Homo-oligomer: A and B are copies of this chain.
Amino acid sequence: MEEKIAIIEALLFASEAPLTVERIVLTLPDTEKKEVVSLLEGLIREYDARGGGICLREIAGGFQFRTRTDLSAWVRKLKVGHPALLSPAALETLAVVAYRQPLVKAEIDRIRGVDASGALRGLLEKKIVRIVGRKDVPGKPIIYGTTRKFLEVFNLKDLSELPTLRELKDLQEQQE
């Protein structure tokens, strides 16, 4: 394969947004716009003829590799059960619960300085936080704690394996 095509292919693949012809021309020295367009057209034809899982398409004024549309059902199947990430709010709430449990929501709100209802609901749904019980005081507030799944997610034998703030501080202080 001609080296120029290989370079364009690498650029297309690594680019975050659809790649414009202008951008390719800027990156490759001594290359005319016309030449780039014809190389791109060649690439599109090559991938289409090959009939593989990927194709090159002109999108939003640029060019981008995509999975073949008729294979989307398979790709969606792959995405199910993809590990979820915790939002910063969820992570903070979880941290407070983990280190201060068993505790009531009012205490979480106080420490975080914001209402933790939304984040807490999400954590309950994900089953990493649970209702431990209720307090026998007026209002019967709910007490929260972490679950066994929490230990699994963080790969901990038990809660005493949680790193302490002091340990984190030790790691930090040397940085200056």
Contact = CB atoms under 8 A, between A and B. Distances in A.
B161 A27 contact: no
Contacts of A124: 171
Interface of A: 1, 5-16, 19, 23, 27-28, 50-54, 65, 67-68, 71, 74-75, 77-79, 82, 115, 117-118, 120-122, 124, 131-134, 140, 142, 155-157, 160-161, 163, 167, 170-175
Contacts of A78: 11, 14-15, 19, 23, 27
Interface of A is mostly: helix
Contacts of A7: 53, 71, 74
Contacts of A52: 1, 5-6, 9
